[in-house]
Amino acid sequence: MRRGCGHYRNGHCDHQDKNNYMALSDFPEGSKCEVIHLHGCTMNNRLANLGIGVGSVLTIVQNAGNRGPLIIMLESTRYAIGRGMARLIECKKVESCEQEND
Amino acid sequence: MNKKTINIALAGNPNSGKTTLFNEITGTTQTTGNWPGVTVTKKTGKCSYEDTRINVTDLPGTYSLSAHSEDELIARDFVVKEKPDVVINVVDATALSRNLFLTIQLIELGAPVVVALNMTDEAKKSQLDVNPEMLSQILGVPVVETVGTCGSGVKTLIQKAVELAEDKEKSCFVCHYGADVESATQRIQNVLSETQVAKTHYPLHFFAHKLLERDKRIEEEIETIDHPEKVHQIVEEEMDKLREKYGDDVETLVINRRYEMARNIAYKVTSKIRKPNRVTEILDRILTNRFLGIPIFLAIMYGIYFVTFTYGAYLSDLVGLGVEWISGLFDSLASFGIPAITNTGAFLNGVVTEGVGGVIVFLPFIAVLFIFMSFLEGSGYMARIAYIMDGIMSSVGLSGKAFIPYMVSFGCAVPGVMAARTLDTNRERVLTVLTTPLVACATRMEVLFFLAAVAFVSNPLMQSLSVWIVFALGIVLAIVLVSLFSRIFYKNEKATPILIELPPYRLPSVKNILLHSWNRTKHFLEKAGGVILFGAIAFWILSSTPSNILSLGSNAVISTIVISSLLLWLILSNALPSIRKRIKAPIIKASNIISLLTIVAVYIIGIMPVLPTDVALDESIIGTVSRGGQWLVTPLGLDWRALVALVAGFVAKELVISVFNILGTGVGEMDSSSTIREWYSPQAVLGLMIFMNLYVPCLATIGAIKAEIGWKWALFSVGYSLALAWIVSFIVYRVGLLF
pLDDT, tens only, A8-19:
334 444 444 456
> Which uninterrupted H or E stretch holds B47?
strand B43-49
Q: How far out from the chain centre does Cα B86 lie?
A: 28
> CA-to-CA distance for B11 and B168, rounded, in angstroms?
18
pLDDT of residue B665: 63
CA distance A36 to chain B (A): 11
Instruction: Enumerate residues 6+ apart whose C-beta is below 8 A from B265.
Output: B96, B97, B100, B135, B138, B139
> Which uninterrupted H or E stretch holds B11?
strand B4-12
Question: Between the ranges B470-484, B605-619, B651-665, where is the mean pLDDT highest?
Answer: B470-484
> CA-to-CA distance for B129 and B670, rounded, in angstroms?
65
Beta strands in B532-640, from DSSP E residues, in sequence order: none
Q: Is B94 on the interface with A (CB under 8 A)?
A: yes
Higher confidence at residue B149 or residue B549? B149
- Residue B122's identity, in one-letter code, is E
| Listed residue (B495, B557, B532) closest to B654, CA to CA | B532
pLDDT of residue A32: 92
Question: Between the ranges A32-41, A87-96, B35-44, B708-717, where is the mean pLDDT highest?
Answer: B708-717
> CA-to-CA distance for B693 and B470, rounded, in angstroms?
7
Give the confidence band of A101 by pLDDT, cuts at 50, 70, 90: very low
Residue among A53, A76, A85 whose CB faces B255 most closely: A53
CA distance A53 to chain B (A): 7
Q: Is the pLDDT of residue B667 over 60?
A: no
> CA-to-CA distance for B507 and B669, rounded, in angstroms?
47
> CA-to-CA distance for A46 and B498, rounded, in angstroms?
11
| Listed residue (B723, B721, B654) closest to B363, CA to CA | B654
pLDDT of residue B661: 84
pLDDT of residue B726: 94
pLDDT of residue A14: 46
The mean predicted confidence, pLDDT, of chain B is: 86
Q: Is the pLDDT of residue B189 over 70?
A: yes
pLDDT of residue A54: 81
Read off the pLDDT of each residue in B560-577 and give the average, rounded to a whole number. Answer: 82
Report pLDDT digits (tens) over B355-408.
Answer: 888 888 888 888 999 999 999 999 999 999 999 999 889 888 898 999 999 999
> CA-to-CA distance for B649 and B448, rounded, in angstroms?
13
Collect contacts of B465-473 with beta carbons under 8 A, ≥24 apart.
B466/B686, B466/B689, B467/B305, B467/B309, B467/B689, B468/B302, B468/B305, B470/B440, B470/B686, B470/B689, B470/B690, B470/B693, B471/B305, B471/B440, B471/B445, B471/B693, B473/B690, B473/B693, B473/B728
CB atoms within 10 A of CB B210: 21
Report pLDDT digits (tens) over B270-316.
Answer: 887 777 888 898 999 899 988 899 999 999 988 988 888 888 888 88
User: How far is CA B522 from each of CA B33, B316, B363, B407, B514, rounded to the nearest angstrom?
Assistant: 19, 16, 10, 20, 12
Give the confidence band of B468 by pLDDT, cuts at 50, 70, 90: confident
Q: Is the pLDDT of residue B1 over 60?
A: no
> CA-to-CA distance for A25 and A63, rounded, in angstroms?
7
Beta strands in chain A, from DSSP E residues, in sequence order: 21-23, 32-38, 57-62, 70-74, 77-81, 89-94
Higher confidence at residue B606 or residue B696? B696
Return the exposure string of B327-348: e unless at least 16 CB atoms fall within 10 Å of the residue's CB, then b.
Answer: beebbebbeeeeeeebbbbbbb
B280–A77 C-beta distance less than 8 A: no
Least confident of A1-15, A46-60, B396-410, B626-640: A1-15
Among chain A residues, the shortest Cα distance to B68 is held by A46
In three-state secondary structure terms, B464 is helix
Read off the pLDDT of each residue in B221-230 and give the average, rounded to a whole number. Answer: 80
B284–A51 C-beta distance less than 8 A: no
Q: Is the pLDDT of residue B465 over 90?
A: no
The mean predicted confidence, pLDDT, of chain A is: 75
Residue among A44, A62, A82 whose CB faces B252 most closely: A44
Q: Assign residue B484 a region (left: φ > 0; alpha: ψ between -120 and 50; beta: otherwise).
A: alpha
Beta strands in B489-648, from DSSP E residues, in sequence order: 499-502
Instruction: Enumerate residues 6+ apart whose C-beta is below 8 A from B526.
Output: none
> CA-to-CA distance for B462 and B455, rounded, in angstroms?
9
Q: How far out from the chain centre does Cα B97 lie?
A: 31
- Chain A residues with CB-CB distance to B236 below 8 A: 1-2
In residues, how long is chain A? Answer: 102
B259–A43 C-beta distance less than 8 A: no
Q: Please tell me the number of Cα atoms within 13 Å of A54 on its side-chain side.
A: 16
Q: Is B248 on the interface with A (CB under 8 A)?
A: yes
- Residue A14's identity, in one-letter code, is D
Among chain B residues, the shortest Cα distance to A85 is held by B497
Read off the pLDDT of each residue in B496-510 and give the average, rounded to a whole number. Answer: 91
Q: Is B628 on the interface with A (CB under 8 A)?
A: no
Give the confidence band of A5 by pLDDT, cuts at 50, 70, 90: very low
pLDDT of residue B612: 67
Instruction: Enumerate residues 6+ apart whose C-beta is below 8 A from B111.
Output: B79, B83, B84, B87
Among chain B residues, the shortest Cα distance to A102 is held by B267
Radius of gyration of chain B (CA): 29
DSSP H helical segments within B288-425, as ranges?
293-332, 339-348, 358-360, 363-379, 381-388, 390-395, 403-409, 413-419
Q: Is the pLDDT of residue B622 over 80?
A: yes
pLDDT of residue B613: 62
Give which of B71, B277, B387 to mutate to test A binding, by max A Cβ within 10 Å.
Answer: B387
Among chain A residues, the shortest Cα distance to B505 is held by A78
Radius of gyration of chain A (CA): 13
Least confident of B29-33, B483-487, B728-732: B29-33
- Chain A residues with CB-CB distance to B94 below 8 A: 76-77
Going by their DSSP bridges, the two strands B4-12 and B86-92 should be labelled as parallel
CB B13 within 8 A of CB B96: no
A38–B267 C-beta distance less than 8 A: no
> CA-to-CA distance for B479 and B476, rounded, in angstroms?
5
Share of chain B above pLDDT 90, in %: 29
Beta strands in B414-517, from DSSP E residues, in sequence order: 499-502
Sheet with B499-502: strands ordered across: A21-23, A89-94, A32-38, A57-62, A70-74, A77-81, B499-502
Q: Is A2 on the interface with B (CB under 8 A)?
A: yes
CB A15 within 8 A of CB A37: yes
Higher confidence at residue B558 or residue B170? B558
| Listed residue (B380, B375, B379) closest to B410, CA to CA | B375
Cβ burial, residue B368 (10 Å; 0-12/13-18/19+): buried
CB B228 within 8 A of CB B222: yes
> Which uninterrupted H or E stretch holds B511?
helix B510-527
Q: Work out how many CB contacts closer than 8 A connect A with B.
A: 122
Give the confidence band of A3 by pLDDT, cuts at 50, 70, 90: very low
Give the confidence band of A100 by pLDDT, cuts at 50, 70, 90: very low
Q: Is the pLDDT of residue B13 over 50?
A: yes
- Chain B residues with CB-CB distance to A81 below 8 A: 497-499
- Residue B684's identity, in one-letter code, is A
**What values do phi and psi take at B487, rounded to 5?**
-70, -35
pLDDT of residue B146: 92
> CA-to-CA distance for B289 and B675, rounded, in angstroms?
49
**Contacts with B, A 9-48, CB within 8 Å:** 37-38, 41, 43-48
Q: Is the pLDDT of residue A58 over 70?
A: yes
B126–A51 C-beta distance less than 8 A: no
Q: Is the pLDDT of residue B642 over 80?
A: yes
Q: Is B67 on the interface with A (CB under 8 A)?
A: no
Q: Is the pLDDT of residue B666 over 60?
A: no
Q: Is the pLDDT of residue B502 over 90?
A: yes
CB atoms within 10 A of CB A55: 13
Going by their DSSP bridges, the two strands A77-81 and B4-12 should be labelled as unpaired
pLDDT of residue B504: 92
Q: Is the pLDDT of residue B9 over 90?
A: yes
This prediction has a pTM of 0.87
